[in-house]
Amino acid sequence: MSRFIPNQNEHREKMLREIGVGEFGDLLEPIPEKYRLKEKLQLPEPISELGLNREFEEFASRNTGAELACFLGAGSYDHFIPAAVDHILLRSEFYTAYTPYQAEVSQGTLQAIFEYQTMIARLTGMEMANASMYDGASSAAEACLMAMRSTRKQRILIAGSLNPRWQDVIRTYLKRDDFEINEIPFLDDGSLDLETAGKLIEGGTAAVLVQYPNYFGLIEDIQPAAELIHGSGGLLIVAADPVALPLLRSPGDAGADIVVGEGQSMGIPMSYGGPYAGFMAASAKLARKMPGRIIGRTTDRAGQTGYVLTLQTREQHIRRDKATSNICSNQALMALANSAYLSLMGERGFREISSQCYHKSHYLEKKLLEIPGISRLFSKIPFFREFVISLPVSSIAFRDRMIEHGILAGLPLVELGEGAMLVTVTEKRTRDEIDRYAMAAAEICGGGTS
Amino acid sequence: MSDIPEGFRYTDSHEWVKDLGNSEYMMGLTAYAQEQMGEIVMVEFPGMLDFNSGEILGSLEAVKTAEDFYAPFDCKVVRINEGLEDEPALINENPYDKGWLVVVKTDDPSGFNSLKSAEEYTEFIGE
Amino acid sequence: MKTVFEISSPGRIGVSLPDLDVPATSEIPPGLLRENGGKTGLPEATEGQILRHYVNLSTMNHHVDKGMYPLGSCTMKYNPKLHENLARIRGLSGLHPLVPDELAAGSLELMYRLGEFLCEITGFEGVSLQPAAGAQGEFCGIMIIKSYHESRGEKQRNEILMPDSAHGTNPATSTLSDCVVVGVESNEYGLVDPEDLKRKVGPLTAAFMLTNPNTLGLFESRIEELTSIVHEAGGLNYMDGANMNALLGIAKPREMGFDVCHLNLHKTFSTPHGGGGPGSGPVICSEELARFLPDPVVIREDDGSIRFSRNQDSFGRLLAFQGNIGVLYKAYAYIRTLGAEGLREVSENALINANYLKSKLADYFDNPFDNGPCMHEFVLSGDRQAKLGVRTLDIAKRLLDYGFHAPTVYFPLIVHEALMIEPTETESLEELDTFVEAMVSIAGEAVEKPYLVTDAPVNTPVLRLDEVKAVKDLCVVEPVDKGENI
């Protein structure tokens, strides 16, 4: 018997007697004989705790990418996580609980998520937020569906400067004949082509979706896009980078109706892609069109404050085929990580993180621009944390050579040119690492030291 | 036992319908149905449009249930109970009067005439 | 309890950050700066205050490490502690999702092996570990099925058949996938009625979606007939694997005629529920359907190396990256710890525990579908108590006073006043007996002192909450203090 199963043979026999069957096999009577497995599953022999630890250490040691200085971003970021975050997540009370269906014994989760909703709403400058979605990309896709439900229009315009993986997810979620997705191209300077957008909007568009800052790290003023789509009765969806928000004008202030984003950079490790947490915030009038769980504050029979799942009639377990989404499990524990992180960082800490990302990325950019042959693409528009450089060598070859220097240099964007590379600098990168990046780049690009 | 007044007609989906004359009919939710739902917290109407028989005229929400209500016959919605927007619980408090939902218009009375009588509806809900 | 905003005071901070170690050479143009002088309204408190806040919050939760959680359909089993450590090993948690495959050889190999395990357990050949939860797994499965029909020139097939006892996610998924739900009736034994299924299948049938064991905890004994009816009509069979905890090492979905299924790693494979996620809902399918799996899939090359690959016919991508990898690590660890015999023991004990409870409670509660053994869970009806004015909701709340979580209530919809009970294999006989005592005691209270049940709970951090008020006076974020300038 494994260390997870308490009942021994004597218990089993006693229980089978109570049930009124002679042996375990009698309980399988409802399963037709032909389907009952005669052979045991072909799986490796069981392993001890100690052995499993070793096996995992071995797996981990083969992930050599985790040892490099990470200048790779594009939707997942290597940020500092205070130790206290994990201590909160490792409370059994949080991580071994289920969805808070029985509110009276789930106030911990419920209040924590209520506070999470508040933090997301405040950061994004919106009136409300839900309890989280799977990730930023699926949250963006759900926001498109929400906009279509709300406006009863079936066309979505997505910015070409939106993360291409997110574009793929949106296309998957909106894959049906009566839905139309068009792309708004970006101009040579990397900004949204508003003139084309104006034409594409005509004839009924549910929403325009822009990324802020965009996939290339560019900080665009999104208000003109908001005005454009509002003028035709549609909504503006903004896919926002939360780490930029302490510095930048909030999407809500600029006119967004729905704001989505990826919460990974707020206290969640990169973990090879997940679990992360998508957030979704919106204006109050869209509350009933929102997908996912929403926590609300109320009172109990004695008048004490308490929290419950609310507006549940939007959800699948009640509205079934007419629900606003099929989402059930979300990423609650990751939302808790977000709120623990934001609580610890607080007003000042999170702004400091944001500011350091800004300055460190600019420091690297300046260093790189000193190297002959390296230039920045879209250099007229300010950027945050990420920028695109054009290298005199192939960006894939550059990336591979940089690995030899112990550096994950960034993401090659070959669609923008053979030498194009998206480079990210978070607050975690030290000046020494940044200087090493620049020196190695100079060497690879054929120049001297900078 | 729920109140099922005489003089109204009833549908299988638990709406009552009352002939107002001039080809106009008032509709609401039966006392039985509102009891099943619990306190109603929201009512939504698509608007003053034409509907085919069986199409959704609007939806009602309680805390743990949501129900649509349907056009009992081909008709046009001509009035909506706007008081329900602020006070949807009127449906619970006064289902046959202040809690009415919509007034519809049709020139063909046959649809109305084929609906259930109070007696038939009583039998239908098995009370 | 005070909110984190209420314990906030300007100037406090909960982290120590290094000073900026590079020159600040550039500034954001003023027009792009945050409004209100840059204030975000985030809390301001020390590390100790924040910890105390969350620890105090946490004490208000019921959880598996505290007590039994007999929540039907949710498989609330014990979550091994080692697995939390493993997922946090720096080489796993610190890996960026876009590193070249050769720099992620450890994680890729683990994922590939986990995929093989899941195929062996279910009898299938193709797998995607990407879906983030069961509902996304369902969406993935239906998109695969739609792609299959489209590839055969049968794009018109858009009807998803499902029994009236289906999980709410099933119909919601059908709508999300632009399909139409067609209900199939259950018979007097709580099983799908093959005659009704025959009437409902046709040239528009895309798929039959079935949970097996079904949501009553009953194995669909006529499964061969059911899946054949659908195949003969040109449709495919989808299994909602939410209840796979009954079948590990006991039976394989593939052999029963299913073409695709999802598993809930956060149920069957012991990864924690996290208060509502993250889960993971891998999709496993036949070889014929594997080419439609979402991007990317993990493949093994001839030279033994493992990498991500794109299927030409893939229906698309579900998440920005490759899934809830941290959850996959824990499920892998679970399967490695137990092996074939251990997994079979899981299901055997899950069945014994459920049947034991069913038998012990038989005299006290109605069981409308008690026709022999149940699988890993069973559904009682609180009808007898409801006639006394004590509703299932009251029974659920009273169980909280006894220190248990409530069963799943009012589901499936085909049982009046339903109480769906799933003990799982990690509960001991002693614990089950304590649960029985509580249930029997409540059944007695319902007769003798019903107010004890209808007033419940009284031993919980808060009393019954006003859900009507929560909807009517909607408050989903902490309002900003009037004094604060935000």
- Please give the domain boundaries of chain B with CATH numbers for all domains: 24-106 (2.40.50.100)
Q: How far is C469 from chain B (nearest CA, A)?
A: 9
A312 contacts in B (CB within 8 Å)? 63-64
Name the more confident of A322 and A184: A184
Mutation target to probe the C interface, by most C beta carbons within 10 A, among B35, B60, B63 is B63
A262 contacts in C (CB within 8 Å)? 320
The reply to whether C43 touches chain A by the CB within 8 Å rule is yes
Q: What share of chain A is helix, strand, coil (3-state, %, to 5)?
A: 45, 15, 40
- DSSP tag of A130: -
Task: Tell me if domain C83-336 and domain C347-470 are identical in fold.
Answer: no
Q: How far is B7 from chain A (nearest CA, A)?
A: 33
Q: Which CATH superfamily is domain C347-470 in?
A: Aspartate Aminotransferase, domain 1 (3.90.1150.10)
Q: How far is C286 from chain A (nearest CA, A)?
A: 17
Cα angle C483-C484-C486, degrees, rounded to a multiple of 5: 140
Compute the average pLDDT of residues B50-60.
90
The reply to whether B42 touches chain A by the CB within 8 Å rule is yes
| Contact between chains at A346 and C43 (C-beta distance less than 8 A) | yes
Compute the average pLDDT of residues A44-54.
97
Q: Could you tell me the domains of chain A?
A: 9-54 (no CATH), 66-79+350-444 (3.90.1150.10), 83-341 (3.40.640.10)
Q: Is C71 exposed, middle or buried (0-12, 13-18, 19+ CB in 10 A)?
A: buried
| Contact between chains at A14 and C78 (C-beta distance less than 8 A) | no
Which residues of chain A have a Cβ shorter than 8 Å from any chain B Cβ?
288, 312-313, 318-319, 322
Separation CA A426–CA A428 (nearest Å):
5
The reply to whether B20 touches chain C by the CB within 8 Å rule is no
Percentage of chain A modeled with pLDDT above 90: 94
pLDDT bin (cut points 50, 70, 90) of residue B1 is low
- What are the residues whose beta carbons fall under 8 Å from the beta carbon of A368, sequence distance 6 or more? A374, A376, A389, A423, A437, A438, A441
pLDDT at A414 over 80: yes
Average pLDDT value over all residues in chain A: 96
C156 contacts in A (CB within 8 Å)? none
Sign of the dihedral defined by the CA atoms of residues C435, C441, C442, C444, in that order:
positive
Name the more confident of A34 and B86: A34
| Contact between chains at A43 and C339 (C-beta distance less than 8 A) | yes
Separation CA C350–CA C76 (nearest Å):
11
Does the ipTM surpass 0.85?
yes
pLDDT at A136 over 50: yes
**All structural domains of chain C with their residue ranges:** 83-336, 347-470
Name the more confident of C197 and A325: C197
Alpha helices by DSSP H, listed for C162-291, are 169-176, 194-200, 223-232
Q: Residue C368: helix, strand or coil by DSSP? A: coil
The reply to whether B35 touches chain C by the CB within 8 Å rule is no
C303 Cα distance to chain centroid: 37
pLDDT at A352 over 80: yes
Nearest to C95 among A31, A272, A287 (CB): A272
pLDDT at A434 over 80: yes
A287 contacts in C (CB within 8 Å)? 474, 476
Residue type at position C423? P
pLDDT at A228 over 70: yes
**Beta-strand pair C260-263/C236-241:** parallel
Q: How far is A292 from chain C (nearest CA, A)?
A: 11
Q: How far is C470 from chain B (nearest CA, A)?
A: 9
pLDDT at A275 over 60: yes
pLDDT bin (cut points 50, 70, 90) of residue A315 is confident
| Contact between chains at B66 and A319 (C-beta distance less than 8 A) | yes
Sign of the dihedral defined by the CA atoms of residues B6, B10, B16, B22, in that order:
negative
The token pair that represents A343 in the structure block: 């609580």
Q: Residue A296: helix, strand or coil by DSSP? A: strand
The reply to whether A33 touches chain C by the CB within 8 Å rule is no
- What are the residues whose beta carbons fall under 8 Å from the beta carbon of A107, sequence distance 6 or more? A306, A307, C1, C57, C60, C61, C461, C462
Spell out, as residue ranges, where chain C has pLDDT lower than 50.
482-486
What is the pLDDT, as a whole number, of residue B92? 93
**Could you tell me which chain A residue has the CA closest to the CA of C329?**
A56
B63 contacts in C (CB within 8 Å)? 467-468, 470-471
| Contact between chains at A306 and C400 (C-beta distance less than 8 A) | no
Separation CA C52–CA C247 (nearest Å):
43
Q: How far is A315 from chain B (nearest CA, A)?
A: 10
pLDDT bin (cut points 50, 70, 90) of residue B126 is confident
Alpha helices by DSSP H, listed for chain B, are 31-37, 83-86, 90-93, 110-113, 118-125
The token pair that represents A438 in the structure block: 């620049």
Q: Which residues of A141-154 are buried (b: 16+ CB within 10 A; e: fewer)?
A: bbbbbbbbbbbebe
Cis status of the peptide bond prior to C368, with omega within 30 of 0:
no
CATH topology of domain C83-336: Aspartate Aminotransferase; domain 2 (3.40.640)
**Could you tell me which chain C residue has the CA closest to the CA of B61?**
C471
Separation CA C54–CA C452 (nearest Å):
32
- DSSP tag of A273: G
With contact defined as beta carbons under 8 Å apart, do C97 and A76 qualify?
Answer: yes
With contact defined as beta carbons under 8 Å apart, do C175 and A319 qualify?
Answer: no
Distances (CA, A) of C236 to A128, B50, C150, C223, C228: 41, 39, 13, 13, 9
Location of structure tokens 């100790």: C48
**Could you tell me which chain B residue has the CA closest to the CA of C468?**
B63
Upper half-sphere CA count for residue A148 (Cβ side, 13 Å): 21
